């Protein structure tokens, strides 16, 4: 159980909601702890007190690293408790001070950027008028001889709590006596003046006088006094939604009053994204809500294209979650589907996510779909279908589990089977576009694999669709195929469909991975993969071991003759046979050798066997890659160090360097003319 699970002022964040929370535009102070650590339990009472006091000024969060190991590792947390301040647009800041409430408060208040204005005769009228004109009211505390006004700390806290909604100021009636007399202030007073209020009228219409000296109580009173969101009528709905982005609260009669005061901050927090906030009452016009399939109170974002493009919020009814959803939604291309807009054998392809809002993996997938939709804008449309509302449509498409994600491409239907992450979805789509794996039939197996050309190598996965390890292998197999593109052909055989063929090929278990090497005497010889790890990198490393070597093994003599004194460009891998990273890099270097063949020669030097050569070349770590370009003279033994372990990256770098050498040569020639 988490330490802070029952504290209303402390928000416990998990991996799925962490980034959304700290990027919502509010200021967060987060306590990363482990339930097992004694210091974490010692800090807890102070952290609770601190949270109560700062509630509303900044968000106080907690992350239980026992439940969220991955999140804490990504954030670089290596000791408990670790306290960090997060604010959009700045690097997280770690707190190193002593763990008293006062020190925590002083540290946190440094990051509260809101200001308290001292008002006096010289700025008073202008400050009030400018603010009223922009729709903001003033909360002013007047400090006189008699009575109490708000302390410096309380004013500052209120400025943080009301940022963007109300300006906070104070006036010293000791020095501004005349002004205070004009305003009829004889003893210390705190009041909220809404926009347009008459300031010096005896009646002070609409002015809210505040008796409390407590920041939290004043905040709640002022928030209640602020106007609610605009209620949009059925007649004007289309017009409103056609030209602007909106976040709409759908209500059925009176709204629930919980959280509502805090939601008034939405307008300010969504201003930069140009999202307006409003309400719509479904009881006053049920036809519109029925048309949108809204049957209970909810929130939806309309993307500025009328009532067609909208997305319903399925997250928590908490300010930061709504802010994150609204920002993500308007900038991505996922829409809520129903029978009215469900893709029907359209010309363009669609990805449809069939889900149920009560299922946690479904909710976790939604932000990932939004991320993926940004990358595929214009190529693939994204929609979500709530099966609790549209049971008929889900049954029609045979949906048995949630979430089920399907790509409809005219008459082709492809079900997504990978992890619920944007990266994997993008890989899956890329693979549909340019399949990296050939689906083999018994006939094409004979034709392509058994009768392959002399130099050709094939890798084949014999699988059954119902087998769990086969399903887990599929995304890795496709990824491996993309990495081997052009070097080794990759196929798969569905042994449920072609049972007797697999039986005849002696496939006894699934998945069975076989490599058919370059042809020697027999057509049927193959190697079976027996490794533990079926991830794309392990499989690729294993396969590349069967490619004939293109790089040259060099001795001290051939290194001097061919590389240093020769007239070719060389790229060299200095390695040691005992070093693990060298073994991992070897297949990568072979790919490089093939990629740059004809332009740059590739060589390898074994530094265990030829220590002297490696010392002369100043090799201090294994593997080290160096480039020795030929520029008309003997090459320098030190070469040019290359800081990359990726074949494609190194190849790009070498091509850049070759181009520079060529241009230099051209310039020299034209000068000599």
Could you give the residue numbers annotated as active site? 467, 470, 579, 582
- By the 10 Å C-beta count (0-12 exposed, 13-18 middle, 19+ buried), 548 is classed as exposed
The DSSP annotation for 131-172 comes to: HHHTT-EEEEEEE-SSS----HHHHHHHHHHTTTTEEEEEEE
Handedness of CA 612, 613, 617, 622 (dihedral sign): negative
CA diameter of the chain: 109
Q: Which runs of E-coded beta strand occur in 298-434?
A: 298-302, 310-312, 334-336, 350-355, 381-386, 404-409, 412-415
Query: CA–CA separation, 299 vs 321, rounded Å?
Result: 12
Q: Hey, what are 503's tokens?
A: 């039986």
Query: CA–CA separation, 526 vs 529, rounded Å?
Result: 10
Which residue is listed with tokens 């330490």? Answer: 3
CB atoms within 10 A of CB 342: 17
Query: CA–CA separation, 673 vs 666, rounded Å?
Result: 11
Cis peptide before 81 (omega within 30 of 0): yes
CB atoms within 10 A of CB 41: 13
Q: At what angle do helices 215-225 and 152-161 cross, to 10 degrees?
A: 40
CB 347 within 8 A of CB 329: no
SS3 539: helix
Nearest to 321 by CA among 247, 395, 394: 247
Query: CA–CA separation, 228 vs 225, rounded Å?
Result: 9
- By the 10 Å C-beta count (0-12 exposed, 13-18 middle, 19+ buried), 323 is classed as buried
- By the 10 Å C-beta count (0-12 exposed, 13-18 middle, 19+ buried), 83 is classed as buried
Distances (CA, A) of 141 to 147, 161, 169: 12, 16, 7
Query: CA–CA separation, 314 vs 365, rounded Å?
Result: 11
β-pair type (412-415, 381-386): unpaired
Identify the bridge partners of residue 628 per DSSP, sorted by sequence position.
Answer: 570
Nearest to 278 by CA among 259, 302, 256, 295: 302
DSSP label at residue 198: -
SS3 303: coil
Q: Hey, what are 258's tokens?
A: 């919980």
Rg (alpha carbons) of the chain, rounded to whole number: 34
**H or E, element range at 648:** helix 647-672
Query: CA–CA separation, 322 vs 229, rounded Å?
Result: 15
DSSP label at residue 560: I
CB 246 within 8 A of CB 240: yes
């Amino acid at each position: 159980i988490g330490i802070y699970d029952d504290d209303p002022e402390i928000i416990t964040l998990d991996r799925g909601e962490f980034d959304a929370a700290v990027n919502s535009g509010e200021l967060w102070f987060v306590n990363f702890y482990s339930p097992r650590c004694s210091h974490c339990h010692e800090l807890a009472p102070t952290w609770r007190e601190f949270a109560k006091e700062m509630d509303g000024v900044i968000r106080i969060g907690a992350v239980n690293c026992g439940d969220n190991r991955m999140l804490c590792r990504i954030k670089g947390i290596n000791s408990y408790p670790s306290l960090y301040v997060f604010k959009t647009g700045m690097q997280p800041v770690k707190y190193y001070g002593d763990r008293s409430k006062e020190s925590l408060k002083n540290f946190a208040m440094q990051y509260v950027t809101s200001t308290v204005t001292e008002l006096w005769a010289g700025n008073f009228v202008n400050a009030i008028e400018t603010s009223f004109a922009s729709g903001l009211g003033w909360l002013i505390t007047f400090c006189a001889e008699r009575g109490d006004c708000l302390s410096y700390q309380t004013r500052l806290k209120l400025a943080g709590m009301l940022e963007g909604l109300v300006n906070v100021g104070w006036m010293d009636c000791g020095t501004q006596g005349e002004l205070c007399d004009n305003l009829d202030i004889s003893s210390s007073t705190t009041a909220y003046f809404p926009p347009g209020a008459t300031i010096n009228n005896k009646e002070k219409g609409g002015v809210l006088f505040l008796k409390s000296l407590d920041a939290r109580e004043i905040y709640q009173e002022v928030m209640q006094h602020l106007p609610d969101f605009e209620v949009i009528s059925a007649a004007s709905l289309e017009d409103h939604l056609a030209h602007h982005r909106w976040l709409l609260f759908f209500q059925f009669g009176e709204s629930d009053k919980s959280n509502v005061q805090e939601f008034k901050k939405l307008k300010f927090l969504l201003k930069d994204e140009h999202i307006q906030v409003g309400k719509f009452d479904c009881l006053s016009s049920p036809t519109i809500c029925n048309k949108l399939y809204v049957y209970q109170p909810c929130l939806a974002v309309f993307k500025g294209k009328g009532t067609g493009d909208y997305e319903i919020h399925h997250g928590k009814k908490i300010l930061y979650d709504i802010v994150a959803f609204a920002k993500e939604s308007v900038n991505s291309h996922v829409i809520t589907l129903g029978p009215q807009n469900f893709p029907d054998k359209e010309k363009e392809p669609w990805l449809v996510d069939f889900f149920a809002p009560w299922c946690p993996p479904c909710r976790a997938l939604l932000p990932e779909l939004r991320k993926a939709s940004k990358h595929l804008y214009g190529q693939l449309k994204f929609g979500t279908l709530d099966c609790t509302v549209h049971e008929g449509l889900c049954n029609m498409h045979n949906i048995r589990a949630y979430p089920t994600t399907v790509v409809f491409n005219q008459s082709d239907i492809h079900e997504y089977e990978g992890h619920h992450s944007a990266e994997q979805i993008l890989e899956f789509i890329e693979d549909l576009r340019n399949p990296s794996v050939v689906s083999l039939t018994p006939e094409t197996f004979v034709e392509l694999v058994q009768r392959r050309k002399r130099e050709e190598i094939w890798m084949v996965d014999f699988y059954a669709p119902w087998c769990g390890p086969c399903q887990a292998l599929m995304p890795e197999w496709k990824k491996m195929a993309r990495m081997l593109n052009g070097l080794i052909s990759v196929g798969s055989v569905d042994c449920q469909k072609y049972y007797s063929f697999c039986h005849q090929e002696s496939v006894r278990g699934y998945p069975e991975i076989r490599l058919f090497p370059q042809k020697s005497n027999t057509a049927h010889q193959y190697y079976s993969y027996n490794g533990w790890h079926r991830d794309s990198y392990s499989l690729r490393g294993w396969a590349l071991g069967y490619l004939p070597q293109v790089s040259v093994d060099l001795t001290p003599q051939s290194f001097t003759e061919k590389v240093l004194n020769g007239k070719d460009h060389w790229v060299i891998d200095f390695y040691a046979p005992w070093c693990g990273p060298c073994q991992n890099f070897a297949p990568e270097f072979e790919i490089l050798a093939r990629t740059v063949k004809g332009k740059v020669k590739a060589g390898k030097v074994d530094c265990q066997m030829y220590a002297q050569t490696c010392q002369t070349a100043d090799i201090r770590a294994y593997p080290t890659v160096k480039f020795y370009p030929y520029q008309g003279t003997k090459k320098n033994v030190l070469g040019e160090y290359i800081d990359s372990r990726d074949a494609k990256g190194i190849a790009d770098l070498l091509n850049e360097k070759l181009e520079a050498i060529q241009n230099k040569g051209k310039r020299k020639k034209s000068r000599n003319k």
